[in-house]
Amino acid sequence: MMKTVACVVQDGFAPFEFGLACEAFGLDRSNDGVPNFDFRVVAPRPGAVASKMGFSLNVEHDLSFAYEADLVILCPVPREYWGRIDPLLIDVARDAVARGAWVLTICSGSFILGAAGVLDGRRATTHWMYADVMADMYPLVDVDPDVLFVQDERIITSAGTAAGIDACLHLLRQELGAELTNRIARRMVVPPQRDGGQAQFIDRPIPVVPSDSLAAVADWAVEHLREDLGIERLAARALMSPRTFARRFKAEYGATPAAWLGRQRVLHAQRMLERSALSLDRIAEECGFGSAGVLRQNFSRVLGTTPTAYRARFSCADETEFSAA
């Protein structure tokens, strides 16, 4: 279980990205039943650390805590430092990866991992504006510019700004489970899991808001996940042709209807694994996967673990519920 979190900042840090790391891991949410983390802000050199917005943060801790933390968060690195990453940050990154700690980068924080060489041969991401630069600087890294975040083993790299929230919640979901992570998301007033990727935000001057018809269909689909939800059926409810519906859905939700439904079914399976003792076959039926085998395949692909392992870690069903099932 993750207990200690080190958030690393340096001169030129971005206040928003730093703040969301503090929000996700540093607040006391014990009143909501969420365990607290030992969260500390650290810097290569303690003292006044200047932000890029003209104010400074007084950091009390050096990097010592980062060498023992269960999670090391690397905040964005100013562009002027990309070609000369602080050796102290490189050492921390290499150590964290070598000892199997979680490492999470927000936006250009991934350039630290690139300089450390720990992303070589791995898939990673960063802000879409910087993806080409990162790919040129670190050709051994498979840079994906079209996703909100990437997890490769225990390394999570996120895209720009708000995508850091998605990455933080993704990690919290693996450590705390869906139910507690949903409580955190509600407190943050953000969706617990966002579909789509950076591509939906690139070169689009006017943001697209899901139409009433598509929102109504999406809400209906979530309530009927156990049923056969082919695109023809969904399109009919939206009073559109399948081709038009698929195109509109992808444009407005950032994912195909099939991919979006698959993610919603996995989310529902997580909740059922946490709250009930139903068999995997029954959960698969209720979520629309059809069989336990298909459930396992989709669950492992999305979350990187099996339904059985997930239940063993996060189940909150009581003894009465287990015996009743």
- Residue 143 contacts residue 131 (beta carbons within 8 Å): yes
Separation of alpha carbons 135 and 140, rounded Å? 8
pLDDT in single tens digits along all 325 residues of the chain: 899 999 999 999 999 999 999 999 999 999 999 999 999 999 999 999 999 999 999 999 999 999 999 999 999 999 999 999 999 999 999 999 999 999 999 999 999 999 999 999 999 999 999 999 999 999 999 999 888 899 999 999 999 888 999 999 999 988 998 889 988 988 888 877 666 556 544 443 334 455 677 889 999 999 999 999 999 999 999 999 999 999 999 888 878 999 999 989 998 999 899 889 999 999 999 999 999 999 999 998 888 789 998 898 888 754 333 322 2
Q: In the prediction, which pLDDT does 64 show?
A: 98
Q: How many CA atoms lie within 13 A of 3 on its CB side?
A: 2
Structure-token pair, residue 138: 């670190």
Nearest one of 122, 133, 32 to 80, comparing CA atoms: 133
Question: Which residues have CB under 8 Å from 315's CB, separation 6+?
Answer: 273, 274, 277
CB proximity list for 88: less than 8 A, separation 6 or greater: 44, 63
Backbone angles phi, psi at 233, to 5 degrees: -70, -45
In DSSP notation, 262-314 reads HHHHHHHHHHHHHH----HHHHHHHHT--SHHHHHHHHHHHHSS-HHHHHHHH
Cβ atoms of residues 77 and 43 within 8 Å: no
Which two structure tokens, joined as six digits, stand for 132? 């080409």
pTM equals: 0.72
Closest CA to 280 of 311, 323, 234, 238: 311
Q: What domains can you pick out in the chain, each with its CATH number?
A: 4-188 (3.40.50.880), 208-325 (1.10.10.60)
Q: What is the DSSP letter of 79?
A: G
